[in-house]
Amino acid sequence: MVHNRLVGKNIIITGASGGIGAEMARLSANYGANLVLLARNVEKLERLKEELEQGTGVQVIVKSLDVADTVAVRDVFNEVLSEIGHVDILVNNAGFGIFRHAHETNMEEIKFMFEVNVFGLMACTSMVLPSMRERGSGHIINIASQAGKIATPKSSVYSATKHAVLGYTNSLRLELKDAGIFVTAVNPGPIATNFFQIADEQGTYVKNVKRFMLQPEYVAKQVVERMMTRTREINLPRWMNAGSMIYALFPRVFERLGRRAFNQK
């Protein structure tokens, strides 16, 4: 059972100050895991730490970290490893997007999306892999997106970053197949979080897809219940993932028939 799998495990969650990051922290703490919560907003982390320690009694460490700063990633992870000894599970959850047409997206925004969504994820992973390999145990969980499978208008850069995450995750899984380390990609559709305050400035996308949005508690539950299991992918919702499978087989037909649905942003 998931309860037994997570008791006493050390879990690092990036982007843990809100949304599915905070919800995964709550569920993991309820199952008896010790937590290291990382995000830029340390005040939110401190409030979450107080809530979890009072409610569950598990150990919670919080540290401010911008994963786009790879030097800071190295320093913070070295601090964490010296404090807790080893990491059982890393959840690379930090990420953001901006929905704009390709010609309207400036290079600063493009670089920053890649620094957070891709380079930061890789930097965090590289900090825990050596000890996981040495111990022959661990789990890397990368929060990607259905946008990494189906690219749509106004998400060219965001989709590119998530395609990169999926490519990295798939390769990593093959590398670690015989090392005792699980690697999971999580590909959710739109989730009702503050992600869209930045991504969807005009609110058009949220208005159009609100009835299809996933709740962060649901997504977090699907992830936490599969921690320390050999799960290749978690695709949510299932009907959207079915679309990505059809897209892979019949891309031209899918793009033609789905054109109206794609232009929701």
In this prediction, residue 207 has a pLDDT band, given cuts at 50, 70 and 90, of low
Report the phi/psi class of residue 33: left, alpha or beta, with left for phi > 0 and alpha for psi in -120 to 50.
Answer: beta
DSSP 153-211: TT-HHHHHHHHHHHHHHHHHHHHTTTTTEEEEEEEE--BSSTHHHHHTTTSHHHHHHGG
Residue 51 has pLDDT above 80, yes or no: yes
The per-residue pLDDT of the chain, averaged, comes to: 90
Of the candidates 158, 168, 205, 247, the residue annotated as catalytic is 158
Residue 197's pLDDT is 55
Domain range summary for the chain, segments of one domain joined by +: 2-262
Spatial separation of the C-alpha atoms in residues 86 and 94, rounded to whole Å: 21
Express each pLDDT in 226-256 by its tens digit.
999 999 999 998 877 787 887 788 878 777 7
Q: What percent of the chain has pLDDT over 90?
A: 72
The CA distances from residue 239 to 74, 79, 147, 186, in Å, are: 39, 42, 14, 15
| CATH code for residues 2-262 | 3.40.50.720
- Find all residues with CB under 8 Å of 164, minimum gap 6, and list them: 114, 117, 118
Predicted TM-score (pTM) of the model is 0.90
Least confident residue range of 2-11, 36-45, 78-87: 2-11
Residue 184's pLDDT is 98
Residue 45 has pLDDT above 70, yes or no: yes
Sign of CA dihedral 188, 191, 195, 196: positive
Least confident residue range of 8-12, 39-43, 207-211, 251-255: 207-211
Residue 103's pLDDT is 93
CA 232 to chain centre: 14
Residue 204 has pLDDT above 60, yes or no: no
In this prediction, residue 195 has a pLDDT band, given cuts at 50, 70 and 90, of low
Residue 48's pLDDT is 97
Spatial separation of the C-alpha atoms in residues 145 and 162, rounded to whole Å: 6
Report whether 58 contacts 35 (CB < 8 A): yes
Express each pLDDT in 77-136 by its tens digit.
999 999 999 999 999 999 998 888 899 999 999 999 999 999 999 999 999 999 999 999
168 is catalytic: no
CA 223 to chain centre: 10
Q: Which two tokens stand for residue 34?
A: 């010790």
In this prediction, residue 220 has a pLDDT band, given cuts at 50, 70 and 90, of very high
